[in-house]
Amino acid sequence: MKSAPLPLMLLILGLTFAFLYVPISVLVALSFNESGLPTAWTGFSVKWYGELARNGDILKAAGNTLIVALASTVVATTLGTLLAVGVEIRRRKGRFLETIIFAPMIIPDIVLAIALLSFFSLLNVTMGLHTIIVSHVVFNLAFVCAVVRARLKTFDWSVVEASQDLGASTLTTLRRVVLPVLSPAVVAGALLAFTLSVDEFIIAFFTAGAGRDSITLPMQIFAMIRFGVTPEINALSTIVMGLSVLMLTLSQRLNRGRLPGQ
């Protein structure tokens, strides 16, 4: 504890949390406003959520998002976990290797997005959901790897040596000794990857190709927002936000009270 004036500290915290939470709370509250207008509260209603369920475009986009998120999560979790184990087993830490693994998290979305767009078009690859999935795996595997590595930092590698001394093959050791310890971190990483993929807009936007068939939910939201404020977007935003919060709280529980990146 520091000997700072407590009332001032509480004031700072109050203002910061108000700044962080008032805008999104307003959004959530308005989604339940019967009139749909920010200026007049005419009563609690879930009718805007009903409107969403009847909107074919939104349902299609939600379905696409689910496909992309599930597929990219499965691939990224597998590759990312193996990568994390491989990196942590090595005693020598290569700076080059670290850079490659860290890069997907810091390259600006717009740069990775146009790089992938150019790459796919020059190879004459028809773009669609599959190219979004491939692209999402790039950053997702980096995040899964980071979460799993954090867990491996406190892993007792002598257990692995013991297992091998007792005659277990590498695969058996991985399956019976390393994975059971890692599984909470792997699941936490997978939940994080799923959430990131569901929310990702820019890379999906550039690698989706032309046509409306491969529109994801964030792309749909972006298109809707550009036409202004509507009660449907408020309801949709509330659902999307609720889902992220749910997934991340789960991920945080599994990851021993830490949020990814924390």
Partner 1 sequence: MNDRKPLYLMSPALMWLSAFMVVPCVLILALAFFRRGLYGGIEYTLTLENLALVVDPLYASIFLKSAWIAGLSALIAVVIGYAAAYAISAMPRKHQPKLLFLAVLPFWSNYLVRTYAWIVLLNREGLITALARWFGFEGELPKMLYTEPAVVVGLVYNYLPFVILACYAPLSRLNPEIEEASRDLGGSGWTTFRRVTLPMTVPGIATGFVFVFVLSIGNFVTPALLGGGQFQMIGNLIYAQFLTANDWPFGAALSMVLIAIMMMLLTAQTFAAERGSGGRTEES
Report, in Å, the least distance between residue 206 CB and partner 1: 7
Report, in Å, the least distance between residue 20 CB and partner 1: 5
Report, in Å, the least distance between residue 252 CB and partner 1: 7
According to CB under 8 A, which residues from 53 to 72 bind partner 1?
none
According to CB under 8 A, which residues from 239 to 258 bind partner 1?
240-241, 244-245, 248, 252, 257
Give the separation between CA 262 and CA 258, rounded to whole angstroms: 6
Does residue 168 bind partner 1 (CB under 8 A)? no
Query: Which residue lies nearer to partner 1 by CB, 45 or 78?
Result: 78
Q: Which amino acid is residue 105, in one-letter code?
A: M
Report, in Å, the least distance between residue 44 CB and partner 1: 18
Report, in Å, the least distance between residue 240 CB and partner 1: 5
DSSP assignment of the chain, as one string? -----HHHHHHHHHHHHHHHHHHHHHHHHHHTBTT--SS----B--HHHHHHHT-HHHHHHHHHHHHHHHHHHHHHHHHHHHHHHHHHH-SS--HHHHHHHHHHHHS-HHHHHHHHHHHHHHTTPPPSHHHHHHHHHHHHHHHHHHHHHHHHTT--THHHHHHHHTT--HHHHIIIIIHHHHHHHHHHHHHHHHHHHHH--HHHHHHS-SSSTT--HHHHHHHHHHT---HHHHHHHHHHHHHHHHHHHHHHHHTTT--TT-
According to CB under 8 A, which residues from 191 to 230 bind partner 1?
195, 199, 201-202, 206, 218, 221-222, 225-226, 228-229
Query: Which residue lies nearer to partner 1 by CB, 161 or 213?
Result: 161
Does residue 132 bind partner 1 (CB under 8 A)? no
Does residue 185 bind partner 1 (CB under 8 A)? no
Does residue 158 bind partner 1 (CB under 8 A)? no
Residues in binding contact with partner 1, number by CB under 8 A: 88
Report, in Å, the least distance between residue 9 CB and partner 1: 4
Question: Which listed residue (64, 65, 135, 197) binds partner 1 by CB under 8 A?
Answer: 135
x/- track of binding to partner 1 for residues 85-124 (CB under 8 A): xxx-xxxx-------xx-xx-xxxxxxx-xxxxxx--x--
- Contacting residues for 53 by C-beta, under 8 A, at least 6 apart: 59
Structure-token pair, residue 140: 């997702």
Does residue 4 bind partner 1 (CB under 8 A)? yes
According to CB under 8 A, which residues from 20 to 59 bind partner 1?
20-21, 23-24, 26-27, 30, 37-39
Q: Angle, to 10 degrees, between the axis of helix 129-152 and the axis of helix 109-122?
A: 130
Query: Which residue lies nearer to partner 1 by CB, 53 or 106?
Result: 106
